[in-house]
Structure 1
Amino acid sequence: MTFPDYTRTELFIGGEWRSPQSTDTYPVFEAATGKPIGTAPMGSGDDVDSAVRSARLAFDSGPWPSMAATDRAKVLRRFASELDTRGDHTADLISRENGTPSSISRISNVAVPISILNRYADLIETGYLEEVRPSGRGATIVRKTPVGVVAAIVPWNFPHLIAMAKIAPALAAGCTVVVKPSPETALDAYVLAEAAEAAGIPPGVLNVVPADRTVSAALVAHPGVDKVSFTGSTEAGRRIGEVCGRLIRRVTLELGGKSASIVLEDADLDHFAANLPANSFINNGQACILHSRILAPRSRYAEVVDAVAESARSLVVGDPLDPAVTCGPMVTSSHRDRVLKHIGAARDSGARMVTGGRRPPAHPDGWFVEPTVFADVDNSGPLAQEEVFGPVVAVIPYVSEDQAVEFANDSEYGLAGSVWTADEQRGIDLSRKIRTGTFGVNYYQMDLGSPFGGFGSSGIGREFGPEGLAAFVEYQSVYVSAGQLPTQPVA
């Protein structure tokens, strides 16, 4: 199959394609082959300043924030339509950049972003942004006003899904946005810019500037930014949180996870195993929601280990563009080496490696790691406590339900998790004891209509649902006499 050269030379700032004010570029490689796909320009501090100034001008003087919500909704729907027309290209490009199997990429990086845009268009058309409440001397108009200029910093694992979790609610609220994509997946960010331009989003409302960590830090601290929305590592999130705290700047941090699946004694193991690829190996293990700890009862421990190992062995490793492949490569060679280092450390710690643990001999090119399962893992050890971000699962024994809950909560993270039981009410009751932002009973699937985010070191704030839009607004209460009320809230 022949692909085009995806080399880019410009940045999308102020509704225009501009030459960067730096000569720095980033080579993007195909994760499955290690061969170059193209290059992307890396924005400089001056480019970030230009983008923020454009967004600031569009917010302070442009039509977008003052536009009727119903009109903004129409633009969001056009944006969704433009992304849809580019869907096949987008899915394949992202699969080549980061190794996501194409079947997953078509859902997560095409269908889901489109759905997010349409959902927020629906929400703001309902009058959600303004309501009237009775008060002691008349009434109060409660307005949700846009927070301002948003810095949206996006990682490489689900680039369009995560970007749209920030862009869509920000635009729906009336904000303007500077998107900083990860260099590893900088090429697909141009699809967002092209679709926004084609949809007629006003100049400066959406800007796209790939950049390295140093320039990203300048974006976070830029005086023209009102809100930072970041998805990435907990370490980076702490640094961003420190800056935003000092500046009293609004911030949403969606960070790491080390989630646990609790298998109870009465669980249907066939059903549990059928869900493992989506829960514990999704996107080649490159997902913050990964259920990478399996907590199994001593009475059924061997059965659970066998089920997890068999699920890992059943995954088809290979070219992510092949529809039959269910586990692609790591995003970069350095990330592959990091995952292999975790595997080596777990082996040295005395954990029992049941399957996997190496680069697959059938795929000497590219950045592959075999789906790997360890048994007899200590819940306090590094493999159970540190986020690997690869296809590596630890099976941990427990002796009672109370101990399973204790183990599940014994983590600095609290993003996801699940319980597997024949008694659904028992699972619901157990969920109340788990300190995590999302939790599944006999299945786990993110719900775009409900808040997503974590406890503890998994972050601050929520995305998706009305709560995701609330993260991009300030509340204004206007006290009026009943005789001065509008006949209906302004949409």
Structure 2
Amino acid sequence: MESLPFESIYVGGQWIQPDTRKTIAVENPATEEVVANVPACGRDDVRRAVESARVAFPEWSATDAATRAETLTSLRDALVKNQEELSELITREMGSPIAFSRRVQVGLPVKALEGYAEALAAATAEERIGHSLVVREAAGVVAAVTPWNYPLHQAVAKIGAALAAGCTMVLKPSELAPLSACFLATLIDGLGLPAGTFNLVQGEGRAAGQALVTDEGADVISFTGSVRVGREVGAAAGQAVKRACLELGGKSATLVLDGADLAAAVRDGVRGALLNAGQTCSARTRLLVPRSRLEDAVDVARSVVAQYVPGDPTDPDCALGPLISAAQADNVRERLYRAADRGARRVAGPDPGEVPTVGHYVAPSVWTDLAPSAPLAREEIFGPVLVVLPFEDEDEAVSIANGTPYGLAATVWAGDTEHAAAVARRLRAGQVDLNAAKFNPAAPFGGYGLSGVGRELGRHGIQEFQEVKSLQFPA
């Protein structure tokens, strides 16, 4: 790790010193130790990066689909080759358990790149409509701003789609977990792309991030993060009449219908809520069960939560790491205590404050005896928290599931898949798993409502970065 150029930025195909001399300390949330410093870039550094991407655009956008697919495959191979070092780096910068870092934090980007490579031909295919030929072209320079919770995956999701579409880009990762993006840039540097095709600047959202999304040289904005900042990014894009793809928050639900395997469904629901210590936009933080089975569901949830003991994320057996920061941990605990004061009942897990003395940990917990409209049941918490909500019938279950301003993901458990699919069609969510279905990194990912605008991954993700042109031939 010491050899990585953390205090440099990657612009024009080379590592250079930024104009700024200010730096940002990156903390290991499990040990509270500073592990590196990165530049606190401002508008001048961002401007250089965007201009570099504009200069590179004509050459990269003129490449054919086969060349782009080969590039994505080469990047995929580089991730596989460096999987262990990347996993350890992500665990150090944001605290996810090492087994999870290997399997998901690095494993998922590998699959995403495979999905992009396979979908590229279909995403760029031409279409005949009467006497018109409809062609897809690269939209231009992409301004990509990524979050800290899945630092490599979210970067790859944007980079892979942009490169596949023929776009050049500038990436600004979260200042809380920017180290894996630096490592990723070194791998991209080895691909032999035209100088300026990919650029990396570090910095805070209010400085580098804002400068990037408002730069007149950026044609498309791709942002993943909070609803609050997403609104600001969307407003800036609207003011400049630019396309914006926004992947924001969620309050996803697991629906366990009559006839479903209750034990299997609840086990899946708890794991879906505690994934990455609950720091997942699509975390299924609401478990909806028949009222007659509420206590049975709670018993199963209690046994699963007992397996999630906060611990050292470098331990291969660790299932629950820290939250990203002291502020985030304090915020989650405060919201839980407030819910308890209002009558919510903690039915699984210790007191949220019973955690190691070092590190930003919150103990996992399951809560019930609260209304679907209660803040804990309706707002995104971003911590290891699950709410169990009973329902009387299927219509009420659907109403509760749809009763938040979000619509990112859901899971429906039923006695048969066809029944689950019928209920899934009634949900206002961008992606719904049926029974034990697994995440598909080649399918479109995104949501309704406050969960955002646009889609990532696969063919649909590539097309977010394309313009459509009609060539009218003589009839």
Pairwise TM-score range, normalised by the shorter structure:
over 0.9
Secondary structure, aligned partner of 2:148 = coil
* Aligned partner of 1:104 among 69, 93, 100: 100
1:131 paired with 2:129, answer no
The one-letter code matched in structure 1 to 2:72 is L
Q: For the Cα contact (< 8 Å) 1:6–1:38, is it kept in 2?
A: no
Partner residue in 2 for 1:183: 175
Q: For residue 274 of structure 1, report the CA deviation from its aligned partner.
A: 3.2
Alignment partner, residue 113 of structure 1: 109
The answer on 1:375 being equivalent to 2:368 is yes
Separation in structure 2 between the aligned mates of residue 5 and residue 465 of structure 1, nearest angstrom: 34
The residue type equivalent to 1:468 in the other structure is G
Q: Deviations over 1:194-223 (max 9, x none)?
A: 001011122111111111122211211110
Aligned partner (choices 457, 460, 468) of residue 475 of structure 1: 468
Equivalence map 1:259-338=2 (5 Å): 259-338=252-331
Residue 122 of structure 1 corresponds to 118
Aligned to 1:489: none
State whether structure 2 residue 351 is matched by structure 1 residue 357: yes
> 1:127–1:449: structure 2 CA closer, same or farther, 3 Å change rule?
closer
Q: Does residue 1:57 correspond to 2:46, yes or no?
A: no
| Deviation, structure 1 residue 7 | 7.3
2 CA distance for matches of 1:78 and 1:52? 25
Amino acid at match of 1:161: H
| Alignment match, 2:9 | 11
Aligned equivalents of 2:283 and 2:19: distance in 1?
39
TM-score normalised by structure 1 residue count = 0.93
CA drift of 1:127 comes to 6.1
2:103 alignment partner, SS class: helix
Separation of aligned partners in 1, 2:105 and 2:336: 29
Consecutive unaligned residues of structure 2, counting only runs of 5 or more, are: none
Query: What are the ranges of 5 or more consecutive residues in structure 1 without an aligned counterpart?
Result: 483-491
> What residue is the counterpart of 2:420 in the other structure?
427
Task: Determine whether 1:34 maps to 2:35.
Answer: no
SS of residue in 2 equivalent to 1:281: helix
The reply on whether 1:213 has 2:201 as its aligned counterpart is no
Question: Is it true that 1:174 corresponds to 2:133 in the alignment?
Answer: no
Is the contact made by 1:231 and 1:254 (CA closer than 8 Å) also made in structure 2?
yes
* Residue in structure 1 matched with residue 337 of structure 2 by the alignment: 344
Please name the residue that 1:73 is paired with: 69
Measured in 2, the distance between the counterparts of 1:469 and 1:7 equals 30
Query: What does the per-residue CA deviation read over 1:167-209, in whole Å, with 9 as the maximum and x for residues that have no partner?
Result: 1011011100100100111111111110010111221111111
Equivalent position amino acid for 1:89 in 2: E
Match of 1:251 in 2: 244
Cα-to-partner distance string for 1:268-297 (whole Å, 9 max, x where unaligned) = 122113323541111110001111111121
- In structure 2, the CA distance between the partners of 1:345 and 1:445, relative to structure 1 (3 Å rule), is farther
Partner letter of residue 12 of structure 1? Y
> Quick one: percent identity of the two aligned structures?
38
Distance, in Å, in 2 between the alignment partners of 1:231 and 1:281 is: 20
State the distance in 1 between where 2:2 and 2:282 align.
33
Query: Normalization by structure 2: what TM-score?
Result: 0.96
Give the letter aligned to residue 359 of structure 1: G
Name the counterpart of 1:486. Answer: none
What is the CA–CA distance in structure 1 between the aligned matches of 2:461 and 2:312, rounded to whole Å? 35
Query: 1:196 & 1:6 partners in 2: Cα distance?
Result: 14
Distance in 1, Cα, partners of 2:166 & 2:238: 24
Give, as a single letter, the amino acid of the residue that structure 2 aligns with 1:242: A
Q: Does structure 2 retain, via aligned residues, the 8 Å contact 1:283–1:327? A: yes
Assess if the C-alpha contact under 8 Å between 1:279 and 1:444 holds in 2.
no
Q: Which deviates more, 192-201 or 315-324? A: 315-324
Alignment of 1:141-160 (within 5 A): 141-160=133-152
Cα displacement (A) at 1:480: 2.6
2: CA distance, partners of 1:314 / 1:12: 42
Q: Secondary structure at the match of 1:305?
A: helix
| Cα distance change, pair 469–366 in 1 and its aligned pair in 2 (3 A) | same
**Equivalent residues, number:** 473
Residue 34 of structure 1 aligns with an amino acid whose one-letter code is E
Q: Secondary structure at the match of 2:18?
A: coil
User: How far apart, CA to CA, are the structure 2 residues paired with 1:370 and 1:220?
Assistant: 37
Query: Residue 83 of structure 1: CA displacement?
Result: 2.2
* Structure 1 residue matching 2:112: 3-state secondary structure: helix
